[in-house]
Structure 1
Amino acid sequence: MTHTQGEPDWVVTRDGRRLHAMVLPGPGGVTGPTVVFEAGAAATRSSWATVQPEVARSTRAIVYDRSGLGRSAPDPGGRTLRRMADDLNDLLDHFGPGPYVLAGHSAGGPIVRQAAARRPERIAGLVLVDPTDEAADVLFGRAFRTGERVMIGLGTSLARLGLLKVVFRGLLRDIPDDVRRDLEREAFTIGTMRTHREQARTFLDELAVWRHDPPVLADIPVTVVSGGRGGDGMSAGVRARANASHAHRVALSPGGRHVIAERSGHYVPKTEPEVIVREIVKML
C-alpha cells in the first residue's frame, strides 16, 4: 500500500455526488464482515488512521469523507441525518452486499444507527465510539446549543485566519506522516466549518425526534465505547450524563456491550485506538 489508509476509491451517490473513500483490503482469503468507519461531526477519514490499519489485519476496512469534508464533494441538498445516512448506504452498495460492521464516532454514531436501521439485513454489528445519543438530556438544553453555535463561529474565524489547526495540534501528533499531511491540507478549512455548520443546523432537532421514534435496530448487536474522563470540551457532569446515555443504548441491544476507555476523553480513536480495535474484532 502506498498510503497508511489504503487505496483511494470514489463512490457516486444516488444524486450524482462523489464521495472519497480509502480501502485497506485485509488479509487474503478473509470472508468475514467488512468494517466501514464513520467520522465525527467535522472530522475526515483521517480521524480513524490509528484504528483502521489495525482492523485491516483481520478484515477489509474502509474509511470515507462525508460530503463537504476531506476530498468529497459538498452537498447542495443539505446535511440532514437522513441524507448522511443515505450517503452511507450508497457507499455500502458500492462495496458489495455485505455483511458490514459499522463504526461511528461522536456524531457519526447516529448516522450509522440510521443507516443500519434502513438496511439491517446486511449489518453484522455496530461499534459506537463516544457517540452522540438522544438519551442524553444535556444535548437539548439552551446552554449546549448556544455553546455549539459559539464554537462553530469561533472555528470558522480561526479557519479564515489559518489558525484552526493550532487549536487541534494535538490531533496531528504521533500519527503517520501521510495522514498528518492529509489533515493539514483538508481538515482545518473554511469549507470544513461550512459543512459543520450545515450539519449542526438540523442535527439536534432531528435527534430530538428520536427520543420518541428512534431507528429500529432489531437484533443488530451494539457495542458502545465511552470515554472514561472529562475534558475535550466535556465537564465531569456532562461526561457522566453521556456515559449514562451510552449504558441506556446498549441495554436496548441483545448482547449489547458497554466498554469504558479509562484513559480517554472524547477522542478515543486518538488516545486508545486499541480499545476500539478490540471491540470491532469481536464483532467479526
Structure 2
Amino acid sequence: MTGGHSQGEPGWARVRDGRELFFQRRSGPAGVPTVVFEGGLAASRSYWATVQGELAAWAPSVVYDRSGLGRSPADGRPRRLTRLAQDLGEVLDHLGQGPFVLVGHSWGGPIVRVAAAAEPGRIAGLVLVDPTDESCDLLFTPSIRRAEKVGQVGSAALARLGLLGVAFRGLLASLPADAAADMRAEGFTVAAMRTRAAELASVEQDLRSLRENTPELGEIPVTVISAGKTSAGMNARVRALADASHEYRASRSSRGRHVHAGLSGHMVPETEPGLIADEIRRLLS
C-alpha cells in the first residue's frame, strides 16, 4: 500500500443508540465482496493488519473496534452476544449493501455467525478462525469459568502495571509498524481489560442461548480454521475438543470446509495470516 495507513482510511459508523464505532477501510478491486474482520475478546482492529495486507490485491477489507476497544468509546449496557452481533450488523449497514465475507477469530466466530444469520442475503461467506463454539461441552464446565477468571485477573493486573504488551510482543512484531504502534497504544490498557470483563461476563449464558437457538446460515459457505498446536490455556485435551467442535460446525453447512493451521496455536492471525487469506480468497472466487 503506497501512502496512508496499512489498514486503510479511517471512519466512524454510528449505531442506532448513538454510539460510534471506529473502523478502517482498505481499498481493493471492485466487483468482489468486501471482507470484514471481527476480533476475539479484548481484540482491537489492529491485529488483522497482516491478513489485510495478504488480501490487498484480491478484495477491499474493513477492520473495526467494538465498543470499549481501540478507538471506540465504551458501551454502558451489558455486552451480550446479541448486542455485539447487532453492532456488527449496523457497521455493515454503514458500509453499504454488500456482499460481505465475514471473518471472525475466537469469540468473533459466534459474533459473525449471529450477524450473518440476521441478514444472510448480503453474506457471501464466513471464515471462522479457531472459533469459540457452543458444541464444545468443555466450555460449560466450572474449570473453564475458573480459568477465565484467572486469565481476566492476570490480564487486568498486567495492564495496570503497563506490562500486558510484553506478553504479546510476538504479535506486535508480526504487524506492520503503524498497526503495531496502534495496538501498543490502544490494545493493552486498563479500559480494554474492563471491556474484556464486560464481554466475558455473559459468555456462558450466550453459549447456552446459541445451543437453544442456533443461527441459521442457509447456503452461506462456512470455512472453519482450527489451530494445530497447543497454546496458553489450551493443552492437548482442550485442543482436541476444540477441533472436534470446529469439525462439527463445518459439517453443519452444506458448503462447509474444515482446515488445520498446523503451524499455529490459538493466535492464527499472528502465525499463519497467509492461510487465512487463502481461505478468504476461496470464497471470493
Give TM class, smaller chain: over 0.9
Q: What is the aligned residue count?
A: 282
Give the percent of matched residue pairs that are identical in Structure 1 and Structure 2: 53
Matched, 1:187 2:187: yes
Runs of 4+ in 1 over 4 A off after TM superposition: none
Show CA shifts across 1:13-60 (max 9, x none).
Answer: 111111000011103xx2111110001111110110110122231111
Instruction: Look up the equivalent residue of 1:96 and give its one-letter code.
Output: G
Show CA shifts across 1:191-247 (max 9, x none).
Answer: 000000000111221112222321111111100011011113210110000000000
Distance across 1 between alignment mates of 2:180 and 2:231: 23
Instruction: Look up the equivalent residue of 2:17 and give its one-letter code.
Output: D
Asked whether the 8 Å contact 2:47–2:175 carries over to 1, the reply is: no
Unmatched tracts of structure 2, length 5 or more = none
Q: Of 15, 20, 36, which aligns to 2:22?
A: 20
2:114 is paired with a residue whose SS is helix
Give the aligned partner of residue 152 of structure 2: 152
Give the aligned partner of residue 228 of structure 1: 228
Asked whether the 8 Å contact 1:250–1:258 carries over to 2, the reply is: yes
Give the aligned partner of residue 267 of structure 1: 267
1:3 is paired with a residue whose SS is coil
Matched, 1:8 2:13: no
Asked whether the 8 Å contact 1:232–1:267 carries over to 2, the reply is: no
Distance across 2 between alignment mates of 1:75 and 1:190: 15
Counterparts of 1:65-214 in structure 2, within 5 Å, are: 65-214=65-214
1:257 is paired with a residue whose SS is strand
Question: How many Å apart are 1:167 and its aligned residue?
Answer: 1.7
Instruction: Look up the equivalent residue of 1:251 and give its one-letter code.
Output: S
Distance across 1 between alignment mates of 2:192 and 2:164: 11
Matched, 1:280 2:283: no
Asked whether the 8 Å contact 2:33–2:124 carries over to 1, the reply is: yes
2:25 is paired with a residue whose SS is strand
Query: Normalising to structure 2: TM-score of the pair?
Result: 0.97
Question: How many Å apart are 1:116 and its aligned residue?
Answer: 0.4
RMSD: 0.9
Asked whether the 8 Å contact 1:40–1:104 carries over to 2, the reply is: yes
Distance across 1 between alignment mates of 2:212 and 2:86: 22
